């Protein structure tokens, strides 16, 4: 399993980063990004801490911890600058908190993140065709999520992404130990979203290629 969307106690997760990594390794993960929630108030501090942990833990080359961030509930007009700041402060993966049906996200957020060139658009809800086409052009990965609540639009998102040729990733949005999943569970989430086994293999390859790109 490779997971580009997880949270530690640096935002609203329950584990310190090192324990989150340890539990992920036991669950069979080969790589993961810790992408704690951030906005202007905490982005520098969060990325400084995650980057420090990554330097320590990545001395063991059997597992890759990727420092990242999930930009969350940011007004669309501020998103381009925040994406630039995230990269300047060391985020190798920038996740945009998309227009999930489970939360009151401001309209226009999906397109703002896509145009700003985030790596992953998380739980994008009822993403439009124009937004999905823009994601394809910008190379933004579209998330299929195992997270309860956010996952209610998985079928819609997967169908549109497949039809328009968008690159998909399957992430957990983990906040607690029980949120981490195995490859077998990830495949079941993909199948439950209406994808097939070949689609899931492409999702896995997308994840491997993104790890290589940022290595």
Q: What span, in angstroms and rounded, lies between the C-alpha atoms of 207 and 203?
A: 6
Q: Are 183 and 1 in contact (CB under 8 A)?
A: yes
Residue extents of the structural domains in the chain:
2-214
Tell me: domain 2-214, CATH 3.20.20.140, correct?
Answer: yes
- Record the pTM: 0.98
pLDDT in tens, the chain (215 residues): 999 999 999 999 999 999 999 999 999 999 999 999 999 999 999 999 999 999 999 988 889 999 999 999 999 999 999 999 999 999 999 999 999 999 999 999 999 999 999 999 999 999 999 999 999 999 999 999 999 999 999 999 999 999 999 999 999 999 999 999 999 999 999 999 999 999 999 999 999 999 999 98
Q: Are 54 and 64 in contact (CB under 8 A)?
A: no
3-state secondary structure of 16: coil
- N-terminal to C-terminal alpha carbon distance within the chain: 17
């Amino acid at each position: 399993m490779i997971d580009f969307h997880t949270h530690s106690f640096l935002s609203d997760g329950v584990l310190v980063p090192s324990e989150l990594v340890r539990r992920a390794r036991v669950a069979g993960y080969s790589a993961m990004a810790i992408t704690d929630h951030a906005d202007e108030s905490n982005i520098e501090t969060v990325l400084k801490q995650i980057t420090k942990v990554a330097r320590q833990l990545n001395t063991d080359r059997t597992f890759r911890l990727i420092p990242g961030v999930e930009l969350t509930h940011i007004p669309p007009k501020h998103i381009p600058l925040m994406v630039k700041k995230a990269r300047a402060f060391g985020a190798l993966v920038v996740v945009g908190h998309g227009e999930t049906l489970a939360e009151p996200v401001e309209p226009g957020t999906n397109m703002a993140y896509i145009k700003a060139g985030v790596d992953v658009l998380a739980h994008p809800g009822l993403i439009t065709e124009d937004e999905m086409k823009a994601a394809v052009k910008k190379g933004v990965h579209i998330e299929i999520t195992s997270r309860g609540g956010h996952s209610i639009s998985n079928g819609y998102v997967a169908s549109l992404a497949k039809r328009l040729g968008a690159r998909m990733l399957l992430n957990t949005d983990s906040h607690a130990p029980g949120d981490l999943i195995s490859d077998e569970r990830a495949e079941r989430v993909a199948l439950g979203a209406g994808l097939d086994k070949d689609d899931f293999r492409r999702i896995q390859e997308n994840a491997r290629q993104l790890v290589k790109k940022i290595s």
